[in-house]
A and B are shown apart, each in its own frame.
Chain A
Amino acid sequence: MMENPWISGLVYSAVLVTVLMTAIAWISWFERKVAGRMQSRLGPTLVGPFGLFQPLADALKALQKEGIVPKDADPFLYRFAPPLTMALALGTAAVIPFTPHFLGSDLDIGVLYALALSGMMAFPIWIASWASNNKYALIGGMRMVAQGISYEIPMVLAALVPVVLSGSLSLGDIVEYQHVNGWFVLWPPGVGLGAFMLFFTTALAEGNRIPFDIPEAESELVAGPTTEYTAINWTIFAASEYGHSVITSALASTLFLGGWSGPWLPPLAWMVIKTSVLFVTITWIRWSLLRLRSDQLMALCWKYLVPFALMLLLVAGIWTHVRP
Protein backbone atom coordinates (compact mmCIF):
# COMPACT_ATOMS: atom_id res chain seq x y z
CA MET A 1 0.00 0.00 0.00
CA MET A 2 0.98 3.63 -0.35
CA GLU A 3 2.65 5.73 2.33
CA ASN A 4 -0.19 8.11 3.12
CA PRO A 5 -2.91 6.34 5.14
CA TRP A 6 -5.57 8.78 3.91
CA ILE A 7 -4.91 8.07 0.22
CA SER A 8 -4.49 4.31 0.64
CA GLY A 9 -7.66 4.20 2.76
CA LEU A 10 -9.65 6.10 0.14
CA VAL A 11 -8.37 3.91 -2.69
CA TYR A 12 -9.10 0.76 -0.70
CA SER A 13 -12.62 1.79 0.21
CA ALA A 14 -13.36 2.90 -3.37
CA VAL A 15 -12.22 -0.47 -4.73
CA LEU A 16 -14.07 -2.41 -2.01
CA VAL A 17 -17.35 -0.50 -2.36
CA THR A 18 -17.29 -0.84 -6.16
CA VAL A 19 -16.62 -4.57 -6.01
CA LEU A 20 -19.22 -5.14 -3.28
CA MET A 21 -21.94 -3.11 -5.00
CA THR A 22 -21.32 -4.91 -8.30
CA ALA A 23 -21.41 -8.23 -6.47
CA ILE A 24 -24.66 -7.27 -4.73
CA ALA A 25 -26.31 -6.48 -8.07
CA TRP A 26 -25.60 -9.93 -9.47
CA ILE A 27 -26.30 -11.61 -6.15
CA SER A 28 -29.88 -10.36 -6.52
CA TRP A 29 -29.96 -12.01 -9.95
CA PHE A 30 -28.50 -15.20 -8.45
CA GLU A 31 -31.04 -15.30 -5.63
CA ARG A 32 -33.90 -14.90 -8.10
CA LYS A 33 -32.51 -17.73 -10.20
CA VAL A 34 -32.16 -20.04 -7.18
CA ALA A 35 -35.65 -19.07 -5.98
CA GLY A 36 -37.04 -19.85 -9.43
CA ARG A 37 -35.37 -23.25 -9.60
CA MET A 38 -36.54 -24.18 -6.10
CA GLN A 39 -40.11 -23.37 -7.11
CA SER A 40 -39.88 -25.07 -10.55
CA ARG A 41 -39.73 -21.73 -12.37
CA LEU A 42 -37.03 -20.23 -14.56
CA GLY A 43 -36.41 -16.90 -12.84
CA PRO A 44 -35.28 -13.93 -14.95
CA THR A 45 -34.56 -15.02 -18.54
CA LEU A 46 -35.40 -12.15 -20.88
CA VAL A 47 -32.71 -9.46 -20.40
CA GLY A 48 -29.43 -10.76 -21.78
CA PRO A 49 -28.17 -14.39 -21.73
CA PHE A 50 -29.76 -16.27 -18.79
CA GLY A 51 -31.28 -12.93 -17.74
CA LEU A 52 -27.81 -11.80 -16.68
CA PHE A 53 -28.48 -8.11 -17.41
CA GLN A 54 -31.61 -8.08 -15.27
CA PRO A 55 -29.90 -6.14 -12.39
CA LEU A 56 -28.97 -3.35 -14.83
CA ALA A 57 -32.55 -3.15 -16.07
CA ASP A 58 -33.83 -3.10 -12.49
CA ALA A 59 -31.43 -0.31 -11.50
CA LEU A 60 -32.39 1.79 -14.54
CA LYS A 61 -36.07 1.29 -13.76
CA ALA A 62 -35.58 2.28 -10.11
CA LEU A 63 -33.66 5.41 -11.09
CA GLN A 64 -36.38 6.55 -13.49
CA LYS A 65 -39.27 6.13 -11.07
CA GLU A 66 -40.62 8.98 -9.01
CA GLY A 67 -39.30 9.06 -5.46
CA ILE A 68 -42.44 9.77 -3.45
CA VAL A 69 -42.26 11.23 0.05
CA PRO A 70 -45.62 10.73 1.81
CA LYS A 71 -47.40 13.94 2.82
CA ASP A 72 -47.30 13.26 6.56
CA ALA A 73 -43.81 11.77 6.59
CA ASP A 74 -40.86 13.31 8.37
CA PRO A 75 -39.10 14.46 5.17
CA PHE A 76 -35.52 14.71 6.43
CA LEU A 77 -35.47 11.42 8.34
CA TYR A 78 -37.36 9.72 5.50
CA ARG A 79 -34.61 10.60 3.02
CA PHE A 80 -31.78 10.16 5.52
CA ALA A 81 -32.56 6.55 6.53
CA PRO A 82 -31.64 4.67 3.28
CA PRO A 83 -28.07 6.02 2.92
CA LEU A 84 -27.45 5.46 6.64
CA THR A 85 -28.54 1.82 6.29
CA MET A 86 -26.24 1.36 3.31
CA ALA A 87 -23.30 3.00 5.13
CA LEU A 88 -23.69 0.67 8.13
CA ALA A 89 -24.06 -2.40 5.91
CA LEU A 90 -20.93 -1.66 3.86
CA GLY A 91 -18.91 -0.23 6.78
CA THR A 92 -18.52 -3.67 8.31
CA ALA A 93 -16.46 -4.77 5.31
CA ALA A 94 -13.60 -2.43 6.34
CA VAL A 95 -12.22 -4.87 8.94
CA ILE A 96 -12.75 -8.16 7.09
CA PRO A 97 -9.46 -9.65 5.85
CA PHE A 98 -10.15 -10.85 2.31
CA THR A 99 -6.50 -11.90 1.90
CA PRO A 100 -3.57 -11.56 4.35
CA HIS A 101 -2.83 -8.11 2.87
CA PHE A 102 -6.12 -6.95 1.34
CA LEU A 103 -7.97 -5.57 4.32
CA GLY A 104 -9.02 -2.05 5.16
CA SER A 105 -7.84 -1.80 8.72
CA ASP A 106 -6.66 -4.54 11.05
CA LEU A 107 -8.24 -2.87 14.09
CA ASP A 108 -7.35 -4.39 17.44
CA ILE A 109 -11.11 -4.42 18.11
CA GLY A 110 -12.15 -5.71 14.67
CA VAL A 111 -14.72 -8.19 16.02
CA LEU A 112 -16.38 -5.55 18.20
CA TYR A 113 -16.41 -3.03 15.36
CA ALA A 114 -18.09 -5.47 13.00
CA LEU A 115 -20.67 -6.49 15.61
CA ALA A 116 -21.34 -2.89 16.60
CA LEU A 117 -22.13 -1.83 13.02
CA SER A 118 -24.11 -4.96 12.29
CA GLY A 119 -26.10 -4.52 15.51
CA MET A 120 -26.85 -0.92 14.57
CA MET A 121 -28.50 -2.00 11.30
CA ALA A 122 -31.95 -2.15 12.90
CA PHE A 123 -31.70 1.49 13.93
CA PRO A 124 -31.83 3.33 10.56
CA ILE A 125 -34.53 0.94 9.40
CA TRP A 126 -36.54 1.83 12.51
CA ILE A 127 -35.99 5.52 11.64
CA ALA A 128 -37.34 4.77 8.15
CA SER A 129 -40.40 3.06 9.58
CA TRP A 130 -41.13 5.89 11.99
CA ALA A 131 -40.51 8.64 9.44
CA SER A 132 -42.92 6.98 6.99
CA ASN A 133 -45.82 7.67 9.39
CA ASN A 134 -47.48 4.43 8.37
CA LYS A 135 -48.83 1.97 10.91
CA TYR A 136 -47.69 -1.15 9.09
CA ALA A 137 -44.24 0.30 8.67
CA LEU A 138 -44.06 1.23 12.34
CA ILE A 139 -45.19 -2.22 13.54
CA GLY A 140 -42.52 -3.72 11.29
CA GLY A 141 -39.93 -1.30 12.66
CA MET A 142 -40.76 -2.13 16.26
CA ARG A 143 -40.55 -5.85 15.55
CA MET A 144 -37.23 -5.27 13.84
CA VAL A 145 -35.75 -3.44 16.82
CA ALA A 146 -37.07 -6.00 19.31
CA GLN A 147 -35.62 -8.81 17.26
CA GLY A 148 -32.37 -6.94 16.65
CA ILE A 149 -31.54 -6.24 20.29
CA SER A 150 -32.59 -9.74 21.40
CA TYR A 151 -30.53 -11.62 18.84
CA GLU A 152 -27.53 -9.38 19.21
CA ILE A 153 -26.82 -10.99 22.60
CA PRO A 154 -26.36 -14.62 21.45
CA MET A 155 -24.58 -13.31 18.33
CA VAL A 156 -21.96 -11.44 20.37
CA LEU A 157 -21.56 -14.39 22.75
CA ALA A 158 -21.06 -16.79 19.82
CA ALA A 159 -18.51 -14.44 18.26
CA LEU A 160 -16.66 -14.36 21.59
CA VAL A 161 -15.86 -18.09 21.34
CA PRO A 162 -13.21 -17.60 18.61
CA VAL A 163 -12.01 -14.51 20.48
CA VAL A 164 -11.46 -16.55 23.66
CA LEU A 165 -9.79 -19.40 21.76
CA SER A 166 -7.42 -17.20 19.75
CA GLY A 167 -6.89 -14.57 22.45
CA SER A 168 -7.39 -11.63 20.09
CA LEU A 169 -10.15 -9.25 19.04
CA SER A 170 -8.49 -8.53 15.70
CA LEU A 171 -10.02 -10.39 12.75
CA GLY A 172 -6.62 -10.58 11.05
CA ASP A 173 -5.10 -12.30 14.10
CA ILE A 174 -8.05 -14.68 14.40
CA VAL A 175 -7.56 -15.85 10.80
CA GLU A 176 -3.78 -16.19 11.27
CA TYR A 177 -4.43 -18.28 14.38
CA GLN A 178 -6.80 -20.57 12.49
CA HIS A 179 -4.30 -20.79 9.61
CA VAL A 180 -1.79 -22.31 12.07
CA ASN A 181 -4.06 -24.27 14.45
CA GLY A 182 -7.02 -25.31 12.28
CA TRP A 183 -10.44 -23.81 11.67
CA PHE A 184 -12.60 -23.07 14.68
CA VAL A 185 -15.53 -24.90 13.15
CA LEU A 186 -13.52 -28.14 13.63
CA TRP A 187 -12.11 -27.65 17.15
CA PRO A 188 -12.66 -27.76 20.08
CA PRO A 189 -14.84 -30.72 19.03
CA GLY A 190 -18.49 -29.72 19.12
CA VAL A 191 -17.93 -26.33 20.70
CA GLY A 192 -16.59 -24.66 17.56
CA LEU A 193 -19.31 -26.19 15.40
CA GLY A 194 -21.99 -25.18 17.94
CA ALA A 195 -20.71 -21.61 18.07
CA PHE A 196 -20.64 -21.45 14.27
CA MET A 197 -24.23 -22.72 13.97
CA LEU A 198 -25.32 -20.27 16.65
CA PHE A 199 -23.57 -17.35 14.95
CA PHE A 200 -25.06 -18.26 11.59
CA THR A 201 -28.58 -18.58 13.02
CA THR A 202 -28.42 -15.26 14.84
CA ALA A 203 -26.91 -13.65 11.74
CA LEU A 204 -30.01 -14.76 9.82
CA ALA A 205 -32.13 -13.06 12.48
CA GLU A 206 -30.03 -9.88 12.39
CA GLY A 207 -30.36 -9.72 8.63
CA ASN A 208 -34.14 -10.34 8.78
CA ARG A 209 -33.91 -13.37 6.58
CA ILE A 210 -36.47 -16.17 6.66
CA PRO A 211 -37.21 -17.88 9.10
CA PHE A 212 -36.71 -14.66 11.07
CA ASP A 213 -38.35 -12.10 8.80
CA ILE A 214 -41.38 -11.13 10.91
CA PRO A 215 -40.48 -7.42 10.58
CA GLU A 216 -41.44 -7.51 6.91
CA ALA A 217 -43.98 -10.34 7.07
CA GLU A 218 -45.66 -9.51 3.76
CA SER A 219 -48.84 -11.40 4.58
CA GLU A 220 -49.51 -9.09 7.55
CA LEU A 221 -47.51 -5.90 7.11
CA VAL A 222 -47.44 -5.16 3.35
CA ALA A 223 -43.63 -4.78 3.22
CA GLY A 224 -42.72 -3.96 6.80
CA PRO A 225 -40.55 -0.92 7.54
CA THR A 226 -40.07 -0.05 3.86
CA THR A 227 -43.78 -0.07 2.94
CA GLU A 228 -43.87 3.61 1.91
CA TYR A 229 -40.57 3.63 0.03
CA THR A 230 -40.40 3.80 -3.75
CA ALA A 231 -37.86 4.01 -6.55
CA ILE A 232 -34.15 4.32 -5.72
CA ASN A 233 -34.76 4.73 -1.97
CA TRP A 234 -36.37 1.32 -1.83
CA THR A 235 -33.59 -0.13 -3.98
CA ILE A 236 -31.00 1.16 -1.51
CA PHE A 237 -32.78 -0.69 1.30
CA ALA A 238 -32.95 -3.90 -0.73
CA ALA A 239 -29.28 -3.58 -1.70
CA SER A 240 -28.23 -2.97 1.91
CA GLU A 241 -30.09 -6.08 2.99
CA TYR A 242 -28.17 -8.12 0.42
CA GLY A 243 -24.96 -6.36 1.38
CA HIS A 244 -25.57 -7.17 5.03
CA SER A 245 -26.18 -10.84 4.23
CA VAL A 246 -23.02 -11.06 2.12
CA ILE A 247 -20.83 -9.30 4.66
CA THR A 248 -22.24 -11.37 7.53
CA SER A 249 -21.40 -14.49 5.52
CA ALA A 250 -17.87 -13.14 5.07
CA LEU A 251 -17.68 -12.39 8.80
CA ALA A 252 -18.86 -15.90 9.72
CA SER A 253 -16.29 -17.47 7.39
CA THR A 254 -13.59 -15.22 8.88
CA LEU A 255 -14.47 -16.10 12.47
CA PHE A 256 -15.14 -19.82 12.11
CA LEU A 257 -14.14 -21.17 8.68
CA GLY A 258 -10.57 -19.87 8.60
CA GLY A 259 -11.17 -16.89 6.30
CA TRP A 260 -8.59 -16.87 3.51
CA SER A 261 -6.77 -19.92 4.89
CA GLY A 262 -6.91 -23.11 2.82
CA PRO A 263 -4.74 -25.38 0.66
CA TRP A 264 -3.82 -25.09 -3.08
CA LEU A 265 -5.97 -22.14 -4.09
CA PRO A 266 -4.99 -18.48 -3.56
CA PRO A 267 -6.36 -16.82 -0.36
CA LEU A 268 -8.89 -14.60 -2.13
CA ALA A 269 -10.41 -17.63 -3.90
CA TRP A 270 -10.91 -19.39 -0.57
CA MET A 271 -12.55 -16.35 0.93
CA VAL A 272 -14.91 -16.00 -2.04
CA ILE A 273 -15.74 -19.74 -1.99
CA LYS A 274 -16.51 -19.80 1.75
CA THR A 275 -18.59 -16.61 1.63
CA SER A 276 -20.52 -17.88 -1.41
CA VAL A 277 -21.26 -21.26 0.23
CA LEU A 278 -22.67 -19.49 3.29
CA PHE A 279 -24.69 -17.09 1.16
CA VAL A 280 -26.13 -19.93 -0.93
CA THR A 281 -27.10 -21.62 2.34
CA ILE A 282 -28.92 -18.46 3.42
CA THR A 283 -30.82 -18.42 0.11
CA TRP A 284 -31.54 -22.14 0.39
CA ILE A 285 -32.95 -21.66 3.92
CA ARG A 286 -35.00 -18.72 2.72
CA TRP A 287 -36.87 -20.79 0.16
CA SER A 288 -37.21 -23.89 2.35
CA LEU A 289 -38.39 -22.82 5.80
CA LEU A 290 -41.46 -21.09 7.17
CA ARG A 291 -41.57 -17.89 9.16
CA LEU A 292 -41.46 -18.09 12.97
CA ARG A 293 -44.15 -16.42 15.01
CA SER A 294 -43.19 -13.44 17.14
CA ASP A 295 -43.44 -15.25 20.50
CA GLN A 296 -41.61 -18.31 19.14
CA LEU A 297 -38.86 -15.99 18.01
CA MET A 298 -38.37 -14.49 21.47
CA ALA A 299 -38.68 -17.88 23.22
CA LEU A 300 -36.05 -19.35 20.89
CA CYS A 301 -33.66 -16.48 21.59
CA TRP A 302 -33.97 -16.08 25.37
CA LYS A 303 -34.79 -19.63 26.48
CA TYR A 304 -32.52 -21.62 24.18
CA LEU A 305 -29.93 -19.59 22.27
CA VAL A 306 -28.68 -17.35 25.11
CA PRO A 307 -28.14 -20.21 27.64
CA PHE A 308 -26.56 -22.31 24.88
CA ALA A 309 -24.22 -19.44 23.98
CA LEU A 310 -23.19 -18.92 27.62
CA MET A 311 -22.48 -22.64 27.96
CA LEU A 312 -20.33 -22.65 24.80
CA LEU A 313 -18.39 -19.65 26.05
CA LEU A 314 -17.78 -21.36 29.41
CA VAL A 315 -16.54 -24.56 27.75
CA ALA A 316 -14.30 -22.54 25.40
CA GLY A 317 -12.83 -20.70 28.39
CA ILE A 318 -12.13 -23.97 30.25
CA TRP A 319 -10.62 -25.44 27.06
CA THR A 320 -8.08 -22.65 26.75
CA HIS A 321 -6.89 -23.36 30.32
CA VAL A 322 -6.85 -27.15 30.09
CA ARG A 323 -5.19 -27.29 26.64
CA PRO A 324 -2.99 -24.21 26.36
Chain B
Amino acid sequence: MLEQVAFFVVAVVMLLAAFRVVTATNLVHTVLWLGVTLGGTAVAFILLEAHFLAAIQIILYTGGVLTLMLFGVMLTQRQQGVTTVGNPSHHLPAGFVLAAAVFAMLAGAIFRTPLPNAVAQGSNTRALGVAFLTEHVLAFEALSLLLLGAVLGAIVIARRRDAGDESEIAGPAIPARRKLEIGGSR
Protein backbone atom coordinates (compact mmCIF):
# COMPACT_ATOMS: atom_id res chain seq x y z
CA MET B 1 0.00 0.00 0.00
CA LEU B 2 2.64 2.47 1.11
CA GLU B 3 4.82 1.44 -1.84
CA GLN B 4 2.00 2.21 -4.25
CA VAL B 5 1.39 5.65 -2.77
CA ALA B 6 5.11 6.35 -2.93
CA PHE B 7 5.23 5.16 -6.53
CA PHE B 8 2.43 7.52 -7.58
CA VAL B 9 4.06 10.46 -5.82
CA VAL B 10 7.36 9.71 -7.59
CA ALA B 11 5.57 9.25 -10.92
CA VAL B 12 3.79 12.60 -10.62
CA VAL B 13 7.01 14.37 -9.69
CA MET B 14 8.85 12.73 -12.59
CA LEU B 15 6.13 13.63 -15.11
CA LEU B 16 5.98 17.25 -13.94
CA ALA B 17 9.76 17.53 -14.06
CA ALA B 18 9.86 15.95 -17.53
CA PHE B 19 7.23 18.45 -18.68
CA ARG B 20 9.34 21.30 -17.31
CA VAL B 21 12.40 19.92 -19.14
CA VAL B 22 10.55 20.59 -22.39
CA THR B 23 8.88 23.88 -21.46
CA ALA B 24 11.60 25.68 -19.46
CA THR B 25 13.25 28.44 -21.49
CA ASN B 26 16.41 28.71 -19.43
CA LEU B 27 18.82 26.00 -20.58
CA VAL B 28 20.34 25.50 -17.12
CA HIS B 29 16.87 25.09 -15.60
CA THR B 30 16.16 22.48 -18.27
CA VAL B 31 19.20 20.46 -17.25
CA LEU B 32 18.29 20.76 -13.55
CA TRP B 33 14.72 19.60 -14.20
CA LEU B 34 16.21 16.66 -16.09
CA GLY B 35 18.18 15.99 -12.92
CA VAL B 36 14.91 15.77 -10.96
CA THR B 37 13.53 13.31 -13.54
CA LEU B 38 16.64 11.13 -13.39
CA GLY B 39 16.65 11.25 -9.59
CA GLY B 40 12.98 10.17 -9.65
CA THR B 41 14.00 7.17 -11.75
CA ALA B 42 16.51 6.24 -9.04
CA VAL B 43 13.74 6.42 -6.41
CA ALA B 44 11.52 4.24 -8.61
CA PHE B 45 14.34 1.68 -8.76
CA ILE B 46 14.59 1.76 -4.96
CA LEU B 47 10.84 1.13 -4.68
CA LEU B 48 11.36 -1.93 -6.91
CA GLU B 49 14.12 -3.16 -4.54
CA ALA B 50 16.70 -2.70 -7.32
CA HIS B 51 19.21 -0.95 -5.06
CA PHE B 52 22.22 -1.49 -7.28
CA LEU B 53 20.48 0.04 -10.29
CA ALA B 54 19.40 3.00 -8.17
CA ALA B 55 22.96 3.70 -7.01
CA ILE B 56 24.31 3.37 -10.55
CA GLN B 57 21.54 5.63 -11.83
CA ILE B 58 22.64 8.33 -9.39
CA ILE B 59 26.38 7.89 -9.99
CA LEU B 60 26.19 7.74 -13.79
CA TYR B 61 23.21 9.89 -14.73
CA THR B 62 22.67 12.42 -11.97
CA GLY B 63 26.36 12.64 -11.08
CA GLY B 64 28.05 12.11 -14.43
CA VAL B 65 25.87 12.77 -17.46
CA LEU B 66 24.14 15.77 -15.93
CA THR B 67 27.45 17.39 -15.01
CA LEU B 68 28.73 16.87 -18.53
CA MET B 69 25.53 18.40 -19.92
CA LEU B 70 26.05 21.42 -17.69
CA PHE B 71 29.54 21.72 -19.16
CA GLY B 72 28.05 21.67 -22.63
CA VAL B 73 25.54 24.34 -21.66
CA MET B 74 28.22 26.53 -20.15
CA LEU B 75 30.55 26.21 -23.13
CA THR B 76 27.85 27.10 -25.66
CA GLN B 77 26.45 30.00 -23.66
CA ARG B 78 25.74 33.23 -25.58
CA GLN B 79 24.27 35.79 -23.20
CA GLN B 80 25.80 36.49 -19.86
CA GLY B 81 24.29 34.42 -17.10
CA VAL B 82 21.09 33.43 -18.87
CA THR B 83 20.86 31.02 -21.75
CA THR B 84 17.48 30.79 -23.37
CA VAL B 85 16.11 28.25 -25.76
CA GLY B 86 13.18 28.94 -28.01
CA ASN B 87 10.30 26.52 -28.33
CA PRO B 88 9.18 27.18 -31.90
CA SER B 89 5.55 26.11 -32.16
CA HIS B 90 5.76 24.99 -35.80
CA HIS B 91 7.89 22.06 -34.61
CA LEU B 92 5.14 20.88 -32.26
CA PRO B 93 3.23 18.52 -34.61
CA ALA B 94 6.41 16.86 -35.81
CA GLY B 95 7.56 16.58 -32.21
CA PHE B 96 4.33 14.91 -31.14
CA VAL B 97 4.53 12.41 -34.00
CA LEU B 98 8.15 11.60 -33.19
CA ALA B 99 7.43 11.23 -29.48
CA ALA B 100 4.44 9.00 -30.16
CA ALA B 101 6.51 6.83 -32.51
CA VAL B 102 9.31 6.42 -29.96
CA PHE B 103 6.76 5.67 -27.22
CA ALA B 104 5.03 3.06 -29.41
CA MET B 105 8.34 1.41 -30.20
CA LEU B 106 9.45 1.27 -26.55
CA ALA B 107 6.02 0.14 -25.30
CA GLY B 108 5.88 -2.54 -28.00
CA ALA B 109 9.30 -3.85 -27.06
CA ILE B 110 8.45 -3.86 -23.34
CA PHE B 111 5.10 -5.62 -23.77
CA ARG B 112 6.55 -8.28 -26.08
CA THR B 113 9.37 -9.16 -23.71
CA PRO B 114 8.31 -11.92 -21.31
CA LEU B 115 9.14 -10.43 -17.91
CA PRO B 116 8.73 -12.43 -14.70
CA ASN B 117 5.98 -10.77 -12.67
CA ALA B 118 7.81 -10.67 -9.37
CA VAL B 119 9.48 -8.08 -7.17
CA ALA B 120 12.85 -9.25 -5.91
CA GLN B 121 13.07 -9.84 -2.18
CA GLY B 122 16.13 -8.62 -0.33
CA SER B 123 19.56 -8.37 -1.94
CA ASN B 124 19.72 -8.92 -5.68
CA THR B 125 23.05 -7.18 -6.19
CA ARG B 126 24.97 -10.43 -5.86
CA ALA B 127 22.60 -12.20 -8.27
CA LEU B 128 23.07 -9.37 -10.76
CA GLY B 129 26.86 -9.61 -10.55
CA VAL B 130 26.84 -13.40 -10.93
CA ALA B 131 24.50 -13.18 -13.93
CA PHE B 132 26.73 -10.62 -15.60
CA LEU B 133 29.86 -12.73 -15.29
CA THR B 134 28.36 -16.15 -16.11
CA GLU B 135 25.18 -16.25 -18.17
CA HIS B 136 25.53 -12.88 -19.94
CA VAL B 137 29.31 -12.60 -19.97
CA LEU B 138 29.44 -12.33 -23.78
CA ALA B 139 27.00 -9.41 -23.93
CA PHE B 140 28.79 -7.80 -20.99
CA GLU B 141 32.18 -7.98 -22.72
CA ALA B 142 30.72 -6.82 -26.03
CA LEU B 143 29.31 -3.74 -24.27
CA SER B 144 32.69 -3.05 -22.70
CA LEU B 145 34.28 -3.18 -26.16
CA LEU B 146 31.62 -0.82 -27.48
CA LEU B 147 32.34 1.66 -24.67
CA LEU B 148 36.09 1.33 -25.24
CA GLY B 149 35.50 2.12 -28.91
CA ALA B 150 33.51 5.22 -27.95
CA VAL B 151 36.27 6.40 -25.60
CA LEU B 152 38.96 5.90 -28.25
CA GLY B 153 36.77 7.65 -30.81
CA ALA B 154 36.42 10.65 -28.50
CA ILE B 155 40.20 10.82 -28.10
CA VAL B 156 40.70 10.62 -31.88
CA ILE B 157 38.20 13.43 -32.49
CA ALA B 158 39.77 15.62 -29.81
CA ARG B 159 43.27 14.99 -31.20
CA ARG B 160 42.32 15.86 -34.76
CA ARG B 161 41.10 19.27 -33.61
CA ASP B 162 44.35 19.75 -31.70
CA ALA B 163 46.43 19.00 -34.78
CA GLY B 164 44.55 21.67 -36.73
CA ASP B 165 45.09 24.35 -34.10
CA GLU B 166 48.60 23.32 -33.34
CA SER B 167 50.17 26.63 -34.25
CA GLU B 168 47.79 28.42 -31.93
CA ILE B 169 48.31 26.16 -28.96
CA ALA B 170 52.00 25.38 -29.21
CA GLY B 171 53.14 28.71 -30.61
CA PRO B 172 54.96 30.75 -27.98
CA ALA B 173 53.78 34.18 -29.07
CA ILE B 174 50.11 35.21 -29.00
CA PRO B 175 49.32 37.55 -31.93
CA ALA B 176 48.95 41.14 -30.84
CA ARG B 177 45.39 41.33 -32.18
CA ARG B 178 44.25 38.52 -29.90
CA LYS B 179 45.88 40.12 -26.91
CA LEU B 180 43.91 43.26 -27.49
CA GLU B 181 40.67 41.32 -27.75
CA ILE B 182 41.27 39.56 -24.45
CA GLY B 183 42.14 42.74 -22.64
CA GLY B 184 39.62 45.16 -24.01
CA SER B 185 36.52 43.27 -25.10
CA ARG B 186 34.32 44.10 -22.11
Contact = CB atoms under 8 A, between A and B. Distances in A.
Contact of A108 (B28, B56, B63, B123): B123
A90 B123 CA distance: 25
A152 interface: yes
A108 B51 contact: yes
A4 B81 CA distance: 49
Contacts of A108: 51-52, 123, 125-126
Contact of B63 (A77, A123, A127): A123
Interface stretch (B67-75, B131-139, B176-184): B67-75
A115 interface: yes
Contacts of B71: 142, 145-146
A149 B123 contact: no
A117 B64 CA distance: 12
A122 interface: yes
Contact of B70 (A107, A116, A145, A169): A145
A107 B51 contact: yes
A109 interface: yes
B140 to A, nearest CB: 16
Nearest to B55: A112
A181 to B, nearest CB: 20
A237 interface: no
Nearest to A130: B28
A72 interface: yes
Contacts, number: 56
Interface string B115-144: 000000001011000000000000000000
Contact of B56 (A77, A112, A146, A148): A112
B47 interface: no
* Most chain A CB neighbours (cut-off 10 Å) among B54, B64, B81: B81
Nearest to B71: A145
A236 to B, nearest CB: 19
B48 interface: no
B148 to A, nearest CB: 13
A115 B62 CA distance: 13
Contacts of A142: 71, 74
Nearest to A146: B71
B28 to A, nearest CB: 6
A109 B42 CA distance: 14
B55 A109 contact: yes
B59 A148 contact: no
Contacts of A117: 58
A203 to B, nearest CB: 16
Contacts of A116: 55, 58-59, 63
A112 B74 contact: no
Given A112-B59, A116-B59, A119-B59, A148 B32 contact: no
A170 to B, nearest CB: 9
Given A109-B51, A112-B52, A142-B74, A122 B67 contact: yes
Nearest to B73: A130
A126 interface: yes
A115 B59 contact: yes
B66 interface: yes
Contacts of A107: 51
A128 B78 CA distance: 20
A127 B32 contact: yes
A126 B70 contact: yes
Nearest to A148: B67
Contacts of A119: 59, 63
Given A112-B59, A115-B59, A145 B51 contact: no
A126 B67 CA distance: 9
Interface in B14-56: 28, 32, 35, 51-52, 54-56
Given A72-B81, A112-B52, A126-B70, A120 B125 contact: no
A145 B64 CA distance: 10
Interface string A119-154: 110110011001001000010001001101100100
Interface of A: 72, 77, 107-109, 112-113, 115-117, 119-120, 122-123, 126-127, 130, 133, 138, 142, 145-146, 148-149, 152, 156, 169
11 contacts: A108-B123, A109-B55, A112-B55, A116-B55, A119-B63, A126-B70, A130-B28, A133-B81, A149-B64, A149-B67, A149-B68
Q: Which 10 A-B pairs have CB atoms at the shortest separation, nearest pair first?
A: A112-B55, A108-B123, A116-B58, A116-B59, A119-B63, A109-B51, A109-B55, A133-B81, A108-B125, A116-B55
